[in-house]
Structure 1
Amino acid sequence: MCGIIAIFDREGSPLLAEAAVKELSSRMTSRGPDHSAVHCRPTYALGHERLSIMDPSPHAHQPLVGASLGVPALDGLAAVVNGEIYNFRALLASPEVAALDAPPVTGSDSEVVLHLARAYGPDPANWVPRLHGMFALVVVDETTGEYVAARDSVGIKPLYMGTTADGRVMFASELKAIHDNCEKVQLFPPGHFYTKAGGFVRFYEPRWDTDDMGGLPPVKDEEVRDSLIEAVRLRMMSDVPYGALLSGGLDSCITCSVMKKLAEEQGIDFHSPGLPKGKLFHTFTVGMGNSPDIMAARAMAKVLGTEHHERIFTPEEALSLIPTIVYRSETYEPELLRSCIPNYFLAELASKYVKMVLTGEGADELFSGYQYFFDAPTDDGGAALQKENRRIFSHLHQANLLRADRMTMSHGLEARVPFLDTTFVDIAMRIDPDRKVIKDGRIEKQMLRDLFSSAEYGLPNALLYRTKAMQCEGVGSNWVEVIQAHCEAQVSDEEFEAAQSKTNPPATKEECYYRRIFDAHFPRMDHFVHVWEGGCRSGGATWQSKRYTRAGLIDPNSVNHELQASV
């Protein structure tokens, strides 16, 4: 996990000077606190802020430059990569790459990008779709002057593209690195690659993402379970200590349970040399005292036998962080920012012990997990529900994944998301949607709960069938109310009225406060910030929710449970 920047400009441009590139790249230092370097040439420059996960030795530092690696077959190529390529060993062993007769010289998964670019030639359609993982990358071929930028299928890793009228093109992991040097900035769309000749080309077009799923093969229960277990296994690839974020919700409990099962089967040691091995691995949770998440996670950690850590915060310290969170997250989306703050605390805690964590992000988009799905139609065979899953899945890169990336990378921590493994997503989205409809006594994500209900996974019933809580409710039933009251007190009636002329005009003073902070940091950059229709995730559904509105959950106490001291 890292921060990358790439600049393409005319020869002699001051932006390509080493000092200039270093300054822009340094704005993302928190993404990669282990090493910083740039590679500058007459018409382009690459910068990289490294968080060392695979092959943490200096030999694997980026930018990756073929000539510097001492591999003649890779001469002329250079690249910067952010993310993890989980199938890199299989790709290096493929006949096409093996024919280069250029064995890898590092243990980094990123190096495979150079080998693929050389083995498959100038058309990225021949190799980018082969990458299995989370990534944002730029590869340059100095011999031709061509370059390719690409972003993973789901948008787990961020990438922005900026342009100017005189032909400058810039790519970066975060907006803050390029916004003040570009006239136009846009989000690089997930599942696409970009070249000068062809522009944006979509390489991820799953067959399930249509209104008609007829003809797709049926899905068996064991296929769903086995695929998720494999997705977790792939994400346990690491050369450094790691753990998991454990909210005590279904998705994180399943993730941690599978991690434990795999660790015991494979004899994995999660801890650094010299650390005690009394506990299985590190888990982390965040919330206010006696909150639903704190108490549920505490119970699950006890069942798992993990080295468990809690970050209990007060409203006062959280509210003081709002300006920092807006700058770090690079958004003014209200529903998102309410949960970014506790995530920031959580990542800060985890980064003191590990460099990488697994999380449960994405399950709610695949299995209709949010509470507003209780209001979905029950007599249409799951058609409306499937359409809604597709809609919110398509926005993950602007919502949950933006939060997960920015808050963890604010503390040099990598987050991996097994539920969003593309193989698993393809299976989960092909499940008969009628099985996900909340009816006939089912609760949300009933199928997923049942798949992991056997004793071998060890999930207590109180957690296995716990009501879904979005993090902004799970960290404390009154957290949303507290943050809204604070924000509204910061905005006058006059300021709120004046803000109505803006793009995505704020509907509340809470939203207006976030917008003021964003505009101060990122002037003219408000146009591509995604704001949910109706101001909340449920606002764009084809049905009206009785449970969730722009202001939050109608009944915050509905997420309380029996494991809390008294509720």
Structure 2
Amino acid sequence: MCGIHCTVSWHGFASIDASHEEKLRARGPDSICHHKVAVQHPTAHAPHAFLTFTSTVLSLRGSEIVAQPLVDHSTGSVLCWNGEAWNIASSPVPCNDSKTIFTLLLHVAVTTDGDRETSKDRVLDILSSIRGPFAFVFYDASNTRLFFGRDCLGRRSLVQWAGSAGDFCLSSISDNVNPDSVTELVANNVYVLKLGDGQRSAQSGANLTSPQVHVQPAVSVPTLPYPNLNKSIADAAPPLLHLQSPAVLRLEQCLQGALTLRLQGIRQSDIQSSDQSASKVAILFSGGLDCSVLARMAHDILPLTDPIDLLNVAFENPRIHKRMQEAPTGYSPYELCPDRVTGRLSHEELRHLCPGRTWRFLSIDIPFEETMAHRKMIVSLMHPHNTEMDLSIACALYFASRGSGTVHDPVTGTPSSYSTPARVLLSGLGADELFGGYQRHATAYSRHSFTGLIEELELDINRLGKRNLGRDDRVISHWGKETRFPFLDEDLLAWAMAAPVWEKCGFGQDAGHPGDGSSEGLEPEKKVLRLLAFKLGMTGVAREKKRAIQFGARTAKMEGGRTKGTQLLG
């Protein structure tokens, strides 16, 4: 994972703001490098544009740190890459992916006379063939073009803004100097900024904010790696979804493959190299269905000697709890948080099912004063998202991913301070959107049957990048951690999008009864995932109801009980 920053100026090389560089360093603590390019117009004596690139690196793949920006000295081309290419054109990428991507882009960008458009299409073909999350900036020096964009879901952040001097800026994180002009790039669009022909024009799928850049209609949309949502509606009562249903096996296979890709070949940090008990992987762990299934399946993939850290965050919320100094002795507002209760129950279920594995349940307790002390930073990181709901979700992710709290000895119960060394975090995000896990999905079904449910699912899937993923990437990555989303794996998505809705959730089906060998009395929301949890032995987790992170960790409405989630921050 990396931090990206690029400035296009027509007045000379621009310098990066010191606080902005500090945040980029936090994202990529292993390396930081800068590179400058003066773009020469063919008929002019002076440079036409000035490009300034900065990249920081969190090295998680390969045997060595690969510094960025990557520069090809024979052509002058430059790549800033923030991503994980698991496969390219169906071929696995076992080592460092940034070098592989750069080599491919350099090869297809080569043009002959009159071949500029064809070379651009070849660049798009390469980007369309990548499976995995990414955001990138690629300067094609041979054709004096700047390509930039995000993957089909927007799993990595990339924002744009206009600098005070009319500069055009791109970065993984928002600008503090010109915050009002910051916008998030639309996912699954590749933007092409032409620089060397005397024109300042971009082909894009969204407005570029710099007054120096002229926007042309969208033409650069990579091919999606998954189909449109299956909108089939059963003519009669849908078939019962049960433990032996093919959909349960197919989900297990897809999730197994997605997790294997995301857990193999993680490069050890210095701490992990010197301490075999140091975790390489941690899970954002509420104890709910999604994250618990990931933990259970990760156990089957990782060597038994690899510990797994479970990051469970709970907040002191003065709207709900008494202030701690006023509370009776022994009272803990954190242990009463819903996510702490379910987290401990699921942890015990994992320990029972998976003996021999070291499961570190990390209790991350955040006093109200600490939340307020970090509020300014959190608001800055999640920008341009700026609602009360954004803040409540971002607070939970920010402190959970920091990974500092308390663990208890499994034998004696003795508490000790602990900070996870894991730099790869697993998240269950995406399961609710794919399998109908939100309350609004149940409401849509009760009001408009399968038609309403399918419409709501499609809306949630389509806005994942806009609503969640860019914000979450900016917040979590601040701690030098990379989040990986197995439920958003392209192969899993392709199956889930193609499957009819009754193979994913149990609305309209008989709930069954525990022990009947079919549906086991499970809730209809995300039923296929509940059945998988049941199959894996996690019978308690399989019956756990969905709870939004801001309510489970109690970050919602911390500063006032009358605010709405959609209300803009003051």
Deviation at 1:53, TM superposition (A): 1.3
What does the per-residue CA deviation read over 1:54-78, in whole Å, with 9 as the maximum and x for residues that have no partner?
Answer: 23734x11111123xxxx6xx4321
**For residue 146 of structure 2, what is the aligned residue in structure 1?**
147
Contact 2:151 2:188 in 1 (8 A): yes
> Letter of the aligned partner of 2:556 in structure 1?
V
Q: Distance in 1 between matches of 2:304 and 2:78?
A: 34
Determine whether 1:157 maps to 2:156: yes
DSSP 3-state at the match of 1:515? coil
User: Equivalences for 1:16-31 in 2 at 5 Å?
Assistant: 19-20=15-16, 24-31=20-27
The change in CA–CA distance for 1:483 and 1:152 in structure 2 (over 3 A counts) is same
**For residue 447 of structure 1, what is the aligned residue in structure 2?**
528
**For residue 222 of structure 2, what is the aligned residue in structure 1?**
203
**For residue 548 of structure 2, what is the aligned residue in structure 1?**
470
DSSP 3-state at the match of 2:128? helix
**For residue 438 of structure 1, what is the aligned residue in structure 2?**
507
**For residue 56 of structure 2, what is the aligned residue in structure 1?**
49
The change in CA–CA distance for 1:56 and 1:49 in structure 2 (over 3 A counts) is farther
The change in CA–CA distance for 1:207 and 1:55 in structure 2 (over 3 A counts) is closer
Determine whether 1:62 maps to 2:68: yes
What does the per-residue CA deviation read over 1:287-324, in whole Å, with 9 as the maximum and x for residues that have no partner?
Answer: 12232221222233332441221102233433443333
Determine whether 1:355 maps to 2:423: yes
**For residue 98 of structure 2, what is the aligned residue in structure 1?**
110
Deviation at 1:140, TM superposition (A): 1.2
Contact 1:6 1:46 in 2 (8 A): yes
DSSP 3-state at the match of 1:484? coil
Contact 1:381 1:434 in 2 (8 A): no
Contact 2:160 2:183 in 1 (8 A): yes
> Letter of the aligned partner of 2:3 in structure 1?
G
Determine whether 1:326 maps to 2:379: yes
Determine whether 1:246 maps to 2:261: no
> Letter of the aligned partner of 1:480 in structure 2?
A
> Letter of the aligned partner of 1:438 in structure 2?
F
Q: 1:292 aligns with which of 331, 338, 342?
A: 338
Deviation at 1:52, TM superposition (A): 1.8
Output the TM-score relative to the length of structure 1: 0.72
Q: Distance in 2 between matches of 1:254 and 1:510?
A: 29
Determine whether 1:120 maps to 2:173: no
Contact 1:21 1:38 in 2 (8 A): no
Q: Which runs of 5+ in 2 are unaligned?
A: 39-49, 110-118, 195-202, 206-219, 234-244, 269-279, 315-333, 352-356, 405-418, 512-522
How well do the aligned residues superpose, as a CA RMSD in angstroms?
3.1
DSSP 3-state at the match of 1:28? helix
Q: Distance in 2 between matches of 1:437 and 1:378?
A: 13
> Letter of the aligned partner of 1:118 in structure 2?
L
- How many residue pairs are counted as aligned between the two chains? 449
DSSP 3-state at the match of 2:32? strand
Contact 1:249 1:466 in 2 (8 A): yes
Q: 1:313 aligns with which of 347, 362, 366?
A: 366
Q: Distance in 2 between matches of 1:355 and 1:365?
A: 26
What does the per-residue CA deviation read over 1:73-120, in whole Å, with 9 as the maximum and x for residues that have no partner?
Answer: xx4321111121112696588xxxxxxxxxxxx942211221111233
Task: Point out the more displaced range, 348-357 or 235-244.
Answer: 348-357
Q: Distance in 2 between matches of 1:77 and 1:448?
A: 45
**For residue 480 of structure 1, what is the aligned residue in structure 2?**
556
Deviation at 1:356, TM superposition (A): 1.2
Q: Distance in 1 between matches of 2:89 and 2:128?
A: 16
> Letter of the aligned partner of 2:106 in structure 1?
R
Determine whether 1:169 maps to 2:161: no
DSSP 3-state at the match of 1:41? strand
Q: Distance in 2 between matches of 1:57 and 1:89?
A: 25
Deviation at 1:473, TM superposition (A): 1.4
> Letter of the aligned partner of 2:103 in structure 1?
H
Deviation at 1:13, TM superposition (A): 1.0
Q: 1:458 aligns with which of 520, 537, 540?
A: 537
Question: Larger helix proportion, structure 1 or 2?
Answer: 1
What does the per-residue CA deviation read over 1:227-261, in whole Å, with 9 as the maximum and x for residues that have no partner?
Answer: 12111111113113222222100000011111111
> Letter of the aligned partner of 1:171 in structure 2?
L
DSSP 3-state at the match of 2:175? helix
**For residue 545 of structure 1, what is the aligned residue in structure 2?**
none
Q: Distance in 2 between matches of 1:221 and 1:509?
A: 38
The change in CA–CA distance for 1:509 and 1:426 in structure 2 (over 3 A counts) is closer
What does the per-residue CA deviation read over 1:418-451, in whole Å, with 9 as the maximum and x for residues that have no partner?
Answer: 1011221121122212442534334311121112
**For residue 191 of structure 1, what is the aligned residue in structure 2?**
188
Q: Which runs of 5+ in 1 are unaligned?
A: 94-105, 271-279, 489-507, 517-567
> Letter of the aligned partner of 1:65 in structure 2?
V
Q: Distance in 2 between matches of 1:420 and 1:52?
A: 22
Contact 2:389 2:556 in 1 (8 A): no
**For residue 178 of structure 2, what is the aligned residue in structure 1?**
179
Q: Distance in 1 between matches of 2:148 and 2:177?
A: 16
Contact 2:150 2:186 in 1 (8 A): yes
User: Identity of paired residues, percent?
Assistant: 22
What does the per-residue CA deviation read over 1:521-564, in whole Å, with 9 as the maximum and x for residues that have no partner?
Answer: xxxxxxxxxxxxxxxxxxxxxxxxxxxxxxxxxxxxxxxxxxxx
Q: Distance in 2 between matches of 1:188 and 1:482?
A: 30
**For residue 413 of structure 2, what is the aligned residue in structure 1?**
none
Which of 1 and 2 has higher RCO (CA within 8 Å, sep 6+)?
Answer: 2
